[in-house]
Structure 1
């Protein structure tokens, strides 16, 4: 986090905090933080607000158990709004809905972007302990070979009825496919752009 929130911009020392699911990218809720709530959130890794109705600090989930676990914090360009990326534990809204906008919080495609950047980091900063780094070190042919092997294994599992084995092979194929794209210096978004154009 490069910027710091400027709580002096509000007469009550409160700034809006937008909460976003780290994996689905859905906006879950909007709350307000003062400096104390902000620091408590950073220290305890559970999202805490200043409740205007209760006139005190309030950790989301302190009564329901539906905590918002802090993953990342971003401050906007004017330093007067906060974006919290969090992992929700249960529904976020007090009504029992996933979000405060009555949206279903499904689809974890945001994790693919996180995975893509993790794989890229293993390529740019190799580690002897990293399986991904070892794949890159062995060259494009080995990475491509692994994609072929995993694709065949997925096809084999598709013919059976073991869901867990099928999911495992599907995950292996996706991981190695994204690794192959990184080995070719192709961003996953470029592939998605092709799909978008075909969808017209």
Structure 2
């Protein structure tokens, strides 16, 4: 903490908050030493409110906290990148991000949604019916979608291929979840291979 450039901006550092799963930029806040320490010790992202001149833990009233995953600094030691898991919308307008058009990893967002469906099992959800049918049925769907994707690649147009590829990816994510795995686990394997 002592190596950070606190004196550049009057004791405050900008803190860019990014969703650890989807990589979407969620918000920008400011941290002083006390806010960074509270974040590191408490595990929930805390900022220094410039308008109220006090610490505030994100979501302390709404319940939409940001659970800390990691913090890193930029090359000049004067900006923080906070990776967090949001527990609800981050923006006070009820949006997931204060930057509504911020890019994100669509597959990771889908994986998170599938994980939620697995936990909650809402009635009427196709994903719920897959989980309740079990691993064998889900694996069968992955096989069917794989064949349909391969066939579309050979004999159909680009739109058909893209549609089948999307179906295959969705069912593959469901299969991973049914086995207690995630997209992040598959990405880790790819990363270990140097991809």
Q: Same fold (TM over 0.5)?
A: yes
1:168 deviates by 5.2
1:186 deviates by 3.3
Matches of 2:101 and 2:33, distance apart in 1: 30
**Secondary structure in structure 2 of the residue aligned to 1:41:** helix
Matches of 1:3 and 1:35, distance apart in 2: 9
Relative to the length of structure 2, the TM-score reads 0.59
Instruction: Tell me: CA distance 1:51–1:174, structure 2 relative to 1, closer, same or farther (3 Å).
Output: closer
Quote the residue 2:175 is aligned against: 169
**Secondary structure in structure 2 of the residue aligned to 1:42:** helix
Cα distance per residue 1:19-48 (max 9 Å; x no partner): 000010000000001111111110001111
Quote the residue 2:124 is aligned against: none
* Contact 1:4–1:75 (8 Å) recurs in 2: no
Instruction: Tell me: CA distance 1:167–1:31, structure 2 relative to 1, closer, same or farther (3 Å).
Output: closer
Q: In the TM superposition, what are the counterparts of 1:134-153 in structure 2 within 5 Å? A: none
Structure 2 gaps of 5+ residues are: 112-134, 145-170
Relative to the length of structure 1, the TM-score reads 0.57
Q: Does 1:69 align with 2:67?
A: yes
**Secondary structure in structure 1 of the residue aligned to 2:88:** coil
Q: Does 1:154 align with 2:161?
A: no
Cα distance per residue 1:153-195 (max 9 Å; x no partner): 7126777xxxxx98653545987x949x66xx734x4xxxxxx
* Contact 1:17–1:84 (8 Å) recurs in 2: yes
Quote the residue 1:5 is aligned against: 4
Q: CA RMSD in A?
A: 3.8
Structure 1 gaps of 5+ residues are: 113-149, 160-164, 190-200
Instruction: Tell me: CA distance 1:4–1:42, structure 2 relative to 1, closer, same or farther (3 Å).
Output: farther
Quote the residue 2:41 is aligned against: 43
Matches of 1:16 and 1:48, distance apart in 2: 12
Quote the residue 1:186 is aligned against: 193
Aligned length: 140
Instruction: Tell me: CA distance 1:68–1:157, structure 2 relative to 1, closer, same or farther (3 Å).
Output: same
Quote the residue 1:198 is aligned against: none
| Runs of 4+ displaced beyond 4 Å | 150-153, 156-159, 165-168, 170-175
